[in-house]
């Protein structure tokens, strides 16, 4: 279990940014707290690049005053209807929110939010006890840890614990976050949290897909993402679907280093058994992502033992994510194709081919495809090889 670091008030005061924010809060008559993930990470001794703050008082006026002190133009400030504000600095983001309480009129919908005037009330609405802590940045008690729900105890014992029954019914995306924190920190779930996973499975289909996509993107950049996606499959919290566990591990190795765009490749593994999956039901998915999914579904029935040249014909224009997902499922020549497909690209350009006598149009396209297949087979390696091949084809013309 992790040994927690002590909150050092003097060290916090020596932080020029936190000191400035505290001074502005005092001058403006504002209560200010560092909250959530940054507090958790500070106790774990983990570096954080983002700061989350809760304000009690005039949020808008305070953020404008902070921006002025930092030399940030007002047009670079972002305010939302949910009593939040954001300041982006060089390599750092400051997130501010007025203390809030929330209620969920129905499962899996965005909450109704209203301002409150107690930091304890604000912390109560959060997802897990380890994220429901705050550090006062007020002059009267600067550096004091506020932990009404024993988050530090759960942090020290390595426990992911929800704050209330029905948490994953209110917001099923919390299931993805529980998995992410569990694998990132090596923590276990409390009994209460385990029970919530069954609620998440029941209500996750009520979510807008954009919210699910955001969670999948966050998983995709994590070093332990393979274990995380395996947990997503085992708990069946991704729209009730699961994926081949071996394929998840293979895909993780194929797409390195981890990146946000990889979410769509992992998602494909979950829909591999659903040939009739309706891509158009996915909101907030880019055209490229939709095309990648359609390409994947359209090629699933091509035999696993197809030769590389045939695989190339159906995957020639497919994005890497589609090819990687198929390779992780089918293995064999498909896996080999993913590893060597980069070498299929001809060295000669279309303009160079036309100078050799290839006519623009269908003939040029056929020659390019023929070069690609020969390169995949290892028959063409250098520019000179390609020139000789093209001249030979032009002489025989029978092939075209």
For 108-133, the pLDDT digits (tens) are 999 999 999 999 999 999 999 999 99
Q: What is the pTM of this model?
A: 0.90
Q: Residue 365: left if φ>0, alpha if ψ -120 to 50, beta else—which one?
A: alpha
User: What is the predicted pLDDT for the residue at 1?
Assistant: 61
The answer to whether residue 374 scores a pLDDT higher than 90 is: no
The answer to whether residue 277 scores a pLDDT higher than 70 is: yes
For 293-303, the pLDDT digits (tens) are 999 999 999 99
For 21-56, the pLDDT digits (tens) are 999 999 999 999 999 999 999 999 988 778 999 999
Q: Are 5 and 46 in contact (CB under 8 A)?
A: no
For 191-206, the pLDDT digits (tens) are 999 999 999 999 999 9
User: What is the predicted pLDDT for the residue at 398?
Assistant: 54
The answer to whether residue 85 scores a pLDDT higher than 60 is: yes
Which DSSP string corresponds to 14-82? H-HHHHHHHHHHHHHT-EEEEESHHHHHHHHT---SEEEEEEES-HHHHHHHHHHHHT--GGGEEEETT
Closest-CA residue to 101 (of 117, 119, 116, 84): 116
């Amino acid at each position: 279990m992790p040994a927690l670091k002590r909150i050092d008030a003097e060290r916090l005061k020596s932080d020029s940014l936190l000191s400035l924010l505290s001074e502005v809060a005092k001058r403006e008559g504002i209560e200010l707290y560092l909250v959530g993930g940054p507090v958790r990470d500070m106790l774990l001794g983990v570096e954080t690049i983002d700061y989350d703050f809760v304000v009690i008082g005039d949020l808008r006026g305070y953020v404008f005053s902070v921006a002025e002190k930092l030399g940030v133009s007002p047009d670079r400030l972002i305010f939302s209807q949910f009593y939040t504000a954001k300041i982006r600095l060089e390599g750092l983001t400051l997130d501010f929110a007025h203390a809030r309480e929330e209620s969920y009129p129905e499962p899996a919908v965005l909450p109704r939010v209203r301002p409150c005037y107690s930091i304890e009330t604000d912390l109560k609405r959060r997802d897990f006890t380890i994220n429901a802590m705050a550090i006062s940045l007020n002059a009267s008690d600067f550096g004091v840890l506020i932990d009404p729900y024993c988050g530090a105890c759960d942090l020290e014992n390595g426990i992911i614990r929800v704050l209330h029954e029905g948490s994953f019914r209110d917001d099923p995306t919390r299931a993805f976050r529980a998995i992410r924190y569990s694998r990132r920190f090596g923590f276990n779930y409390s009994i209460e949290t385990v029970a919530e996973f069954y609620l998440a499975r029941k209500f996750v289909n009520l979510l807008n897909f954009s919210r699910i996509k955001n969670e999948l993107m966050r998983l995709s950049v994590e070093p332990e993402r393979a274990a995380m996606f395996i947990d997503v499959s085992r708990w069946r919290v991704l729209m009730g679907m699961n994926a081949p566990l071996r394929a998840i591990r293979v895909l993780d190795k194929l797409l390195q280093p981890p990146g946000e765009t990889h979410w769509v490749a992992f998602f494909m593994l979950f829909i591999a058994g659903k040939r009739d999956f309706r891509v158009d039901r996915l909101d907030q998915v880019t055209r490229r992502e939709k095309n990648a999914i359609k390409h994947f579904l359209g090629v699933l029935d091509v035999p696993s033992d197809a030769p590389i040249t045939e695989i190339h014909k159906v995957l020639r224009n497919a994005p890497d994510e589609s090819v990687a997902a198929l390779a992780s499922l089918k293995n064999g020549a498909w896996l080999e194709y993913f590893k060597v497909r980069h070498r299929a690209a001809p060295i000669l350009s279309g303009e160079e081919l036309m100078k050799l006598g290839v006519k623009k149009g269908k003939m040029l396209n056929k020659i390019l495809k023929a070069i690609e297949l020969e390169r995949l087979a290892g028959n063409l390696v250098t520019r000179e090889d390609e020139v000789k091949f093209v001249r030979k084809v032009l002489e025989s013309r029978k092939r075209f």
